[in-house]
Amino acid sequence: MKNNFIFIGMPAVGKSTVGVVVAKRLGMKFIDTDLLIQEQENRLLREIIADVGEDGFLRIENQVNRDVNAENAVISPGGSVVYCEEAMQHFKEIGTVVYLKASYQTIKRRIRSPKKRGVVLREGQTFKDLYHERTELFEKYADITICEDGCRIEETIENVLDAVESLGK
Ligand SMILES: Nc1ncnc2c1ncn2[C@@H]1O[C@H](COP(=O)(O)OP(=O)(O)O)[C@@H](O)[C@H]1O
Ligand SMILES: O=C(O)C1=C[C@@H](OP(=O)(O)O)[C@@H](O)[C@H](O)C1
Ligand SMILES: [Mg+2]
């Protein structure tokens, strides 16, 4: 197995902000695959979703994440990557999947308007439905779970570092 760490979890849980600091602390590269999607498609995520719809976005997200070729990297995909089977299969093969977990209340507090933030939400689906649907998938793919309820971001980072460092022991 290659030594990559891949963050999964709900939008706004901290995959991008925690991921970049963890990469720096571990002397690893950092890849935010949402930025790769924007670069490939030459527009913003919310513009892609508006143009091609949720299913179209998930097809692009699957292709971009499946094609990531990384070594010694922390990879932060978007929260909806757990719907992308090939991408998740690839991540399980190239690294350790770290699930950043926070309660529904914590996530809801950070995201006032899921639609405006570009969360992949199906017609008629509430954000709470989405939280529960995704939780099952996060748990299915996680190698490590870090719970951040009640933690400041600095503590979350330390908890992730402790967990990944103890893997090597
Ligand atoms: N304990 C915590 N852990 C992670 N992020 C936190 C925490 N408390 C507050 N935040 C904030 O939540 C936001 C997470 O955003 P982001 O990293 O873009 O998440 P994601 O990439 O998972 O969507 C940041 O603004 C971060 O400062
Ligand atoms: O969870 C989602 O449905 C999404 C999360 C976003 O990334 P973050 O999880 O980094 O916010 C981004 O990929 C897109 O707007 C869809
Ligand atoms: Mg992100």
pLDDT in tens, 51-87: 999 999 999 999 999 999 999 999 999 999 999 999 9
- Which residue out of 34, 38, 51, 74 has the highest number of ligand 2 atoms within 8 Å of its CB and is therefore the one to mutate? 34
| Residue 2: closest CA among 99, 88, 72 | 72
Identify any residues that bridge with 29 across adjacent strands, giving them in sequence order: 73
Q: What percent of the chain has pLDDT over 90?
A: 91
Q: Are strands 73-76 and 29-32 parallel, antiparallel or unpaired?
A: parallel
| pLDDT tens, position by position, 1-15 | 579 999 999 999 999
Q: How far is the CA of 156 from the centre of ligand 1 (A)?
A: 10
Per-residue pLDDT, 168: 76
CATH H-level superfamily of 4-158: P-loop containing nucleotide triphosphate hydrolases (3.40.50.300)
Query: Would you say the ipTM is above 0.95?
Result: yes
| Residue 5: closest CA among 135, 164, 169 | 164
| pLDDT tens, position by position, 88-116 | 999 999 999 999 999 999 999 999 888 88
Q: Whose CA is nearest to atom 6 of ligand 1?
A: 153
The verdict on the CB of residue 15 being under 6 Å from ligand 2 is: yes
Q: What is the rounded CA–CA span in Å between residue 45 and residue 78? A: 10
The verdict on the CB of residue 119 being under 6 Å from ligand 2 is: yes
Please provide the average confidence, as pLDDT, over all residues in the chain. 96
How many residues in the chain? 169
